[in-house]
Every structure is written in C-alpha cells, then in structure tokens.
Amino acid sequence: MSDTQKEPLTFMAVHAHPDDEVFGTGGTLARLSAEGVHTVLVTSTLGENGEIVDPDLDEETKQAMFPRLGEVRIKELEGSVAALGVKELRLLGFRDSGMAGTPENDDPRSYYRATFDEAVKRLVKLVRELKPQVMATYDPFGGYGHPDHVQAHRVARTAYEVAGDARMYPDLGLEAWQPSKLYYTVISRSFFQRAAAEMRARGIEGPWNNPEMDTDVWGTADEKITTVFDVRDFVDNKIAAFRAHRTQIAPNNFMFQIPPEARRDGLGYEHFLLAQSTLPSLVPGQKEDDLFAGLR
C-alpha cells in the first residue's frame, strides 16, 4: 500500500476569494464531507476590494464597512464553511487584487503582485501538512479571467507539481507529499445552454441575458470534461452557503430565484477536468463520477 493510500482521504479546494468556494465546489465539499472525506478549503484573499451588495445597508454604512471588509467577509466565509460541512479552512494570507486594470491590481500587497515563489511555498506548506490526495482549482483562465483566479490556478498547479519533491522548500521542515490528482473546476457548455434557455423562459434575470455573452462558446466543451459529480442531495447546503455571503450575493441574485423544484437539477451537478494525475490514465471518452476514483 502506498503512503497516499495509508493517509485519510483528503480533498483540498484552492480558491481566490470568499464565496468562490460555493461556485463549482460547494456541493462537492458538502458531499465529500458527508462521506467522511477530510475537506480543506484554502482561500487566498479576503475579498477586501469587492463591492457590497447587501440591500439592507445604506450607503453610509457601506462606506464605513469598506476599511474592515476583510473582517466581514471572513465571518461570512466561516458561515459558508459551516453550511457546507467543510472540515478545515485555511487562509493563504494575500490581499485581494481587484479586477484587471484597477488601481488595486497594482497594489504590491495584492495576490497577483505577490512573489510567485512565496505564494507557492505557502500552499506547498499546506499540501505537505494536510496531505490531500485530490486538489481542485480553476482552469488556466481562472474561470473568467480575474487576476486572483488566474494566480490561484498558477499557484495551485505549481504546488501540486513540486510538493512531492523533497528538494523544494526543505526549510519548511515537512515531509514531501505528492497529491494523486489535480482537477480544474469547469462548467459544461451544454449544461449552461440548457440552463440559460430555461431561465430566460422563466423570466429570471441573470448572465444569460447579457447581450455580450455568447452562450455558444461559454463554458467548457462537454467532450473535454472528465468528471461529473452528482451533488443533488446537497443543493440546500449550497443555497445556505450562498446566503452566508450576504455582502457579495444579494437576496435577489438569480441563484435564489431558481424555483426550488428546479434547483436540484440546475445546481445539482459539478463538473471537473482532470488536469494531472499519478494514477492510470482515463480511457479516451471515459467519464468519472467520483473525484476519488482509483483511490477508494
């Protein structure tokens, strides 16, 4: 039996900001936690530069909140973690970079401007300490191009590749650990197109009504998706986690407008692309239904 197989099953999701954990991995974290997997959420920044969309707050209150927005959002993140049953939350300790082209993106304290080696080292420390067999993060575009998402992808991919090399970061004083799988979170193109058509038919406002969004190319082509994880029994956990992020996700967000009878299928599947693996390769065209396939 390999060292990887001897350790408790552990899943590590690497995200950029509070609330990102719900999109793409919320149901996965909830289901794996319920199955007894040790789930770890790594959040890279506290979303200090985001907007405040809570309709119960007047403008004066919002302006007073901005200087301590990181404190507010970590409390919201803790609420989301509780709703999803995540076993362990770790913070990477960088500052929100803001959107590309904004002054915040040039802040030397920001995640995007961080020394890459230092960012990788911090994540390698967590990988070696917590020993995940499976890691997940964004695709190379960061899902939608946010600088922090792109950086999270780069850092997670590199940490996956070097955590098992004892020559890297020996000063950490931790035994090298090589995760077995690295996944990218993606959205099925056909799934999005079906959902967009249904939401338009129901008159629900959302990104599918943006004339600049070409739904014919949005998302990931189905043939590239390797793993579809059924989280239908954990949709309520996802909704509760979304609600925990009140300063970022308003009560009238389209997530909450989806009729309860449609939520199970509309939010009940999460899609992944197996990017790297130490296990035998998938047969071309084969799909996984478990991120721990080959490990349990």
pLDDT at 151: 95
Q: How far is CA 139 from CA 135, 242, 264, in A?
A: 13, 22, 25
Q: Which of 60, 69, 32 is nearest to 229 (CA)?
A: 32
200 or 149: which carries more pLDDT confidence?
A: 149
Q: What average pLDDT does range 47-52 have in this prediction?
A: 91
193/124 Cα distance (integer angstroms): 37
3 state DSSP class of 228: strand
pLDDT at 4: 57
Beta pairing partners, 271: 186, 228
236/102 Cα distance (integer angstroms): 36
Least trusted range by pLDDT, from 54-58, 103-107, 149-153, 223-227: 103-107
pLDDT averaged over every residue in the chain: 91
Q: What average pLDDT does range 272-289 have in this prediction?
A: 88
What domains appear along the chain, each with residue ranges and CATH number? 3-188+223-277 (3.40.50.10320)
| pLDDT value at 1 more than 70 | no
pLDDT at 2: 47
Name every residue whose Cβ is closer than 8 Å to that of residue 23 and which is 6 or more positions away in sequence. Answer: 185
| Model confidence, pTM | 0.93
The share of the chain scoring above pLDDT 70, in percent, equals: 97
Q: Tell me the pLDDT tens digit for each residue of 245-280.
A: 999 999 988 888 888 878 888 899 999 999 999 998
Q: Tell me the pLDDT tens digit for each residue of 52-103.
A: 999 999 999 999 999 999 999 999 999 999 999 999 999 999 999 888 777 7
| pLDDT value at 208 more than 50 | yes
pLDDT at 101: 77
| Structure letter (DSSP) for residue 234 | G
Tokens 């915040």, located at residue: 104
pLDDT at 3: 59
Structure tokens at 248: 């970022």
| Structure letter (DSSP) for residue 178 | -
pLDDT at 198: 78
Q: Tell me the pLDDT tens digit for each residue of 109-147.
A: 889 889 999 999 999 999 999 999 999 999 998 888 889
pLDDT at 271: 96
Single-letter residue type at 196:
A
